[in-house]
């Protein structure tokens, strides 16, 4: 079974530029997550999709971050304009269904390492 795919793996941009990340979840997984992991910290949830609908985007800085999952499969996360503090690893994860009380296992991709200069 193929895992969660992400691209690019690395990206270096200057502040105020824009950047986009792509994620392809495990086939059949309805729920997709984007996390931000700053060096030395645990992952922080940015946005959660169920199929092509947003379930939770309460921690997404909506003035500069946007995400979509138009066909309920692939997803893109965009930052525009980027700030220095956006330097982090952006992780995509997927699960069969919503977490719920059952506690769905989340499968993570390798992440995209972003450096903003």
Interface ranges with other proteins (CB under 8 A): 4, 40-45, 48, 55-56, 91, 93, 98-101, 103, 105-111
Compare residues 17 and 50 and give the one whose CB is closer to other proteins.
50
Between 39 and 70, CB nearer to other proteins:
39
Which residue lies nearer to other proteins by CB, 79 or 109?
A: 109
- Sheet containing strand 19-24, strands side by side: 5-7, 19-24, 75-79, 65-68
In angstroms, what is the minimal distance from the CB of 106 to other proteins?
Answer: 7
Spatial separation of the C-alpha atoms in residues 18 and 14, rounded to whole Å: 9
Q: How far is the CB of 76 from other proteins (least distance, A)?
A: 18
Query: What is the end-to-end Cα distance of the chain in Å, rounded?
Result: 37
Helix (H, G, I), strand (E, B) or coil at 86: helix
Q: Distance between CA atoms of 84 and 104, rounded to whole angstroms? A: 34
Smallest separation (angstroms) from other proteins to the CB of 45:
5
In the complex, least distance from residue 50 CB atom to other proteins, rounded to whole angstroms: 10
């Amino acid at each position: 079974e193929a895992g969660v795919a992400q691209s690019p793996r690395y990206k270096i941009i200057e502040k105020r530029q824009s950047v986009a990340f792509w994620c392809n979840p495990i086939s059949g997984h309805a729920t997709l997550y984007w996390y931000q992991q700053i060096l030395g910290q645990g992952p922080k949830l940015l946005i959660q999709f169920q199929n092509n609908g947003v379930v939770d985007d309460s921690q997404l800085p909506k003035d500069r971050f946007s995400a979509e999952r138009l066909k309920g499969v692939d997803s893109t996360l965009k930052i525009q304009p980027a700030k220095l503090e956006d330097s982090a690893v952006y992780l995509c994860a997927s699960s069969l269904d919503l977490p719920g009380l059952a506690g769905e296992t989340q499968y993570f991709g390798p992440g995209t390492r972003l450096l903003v200069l």
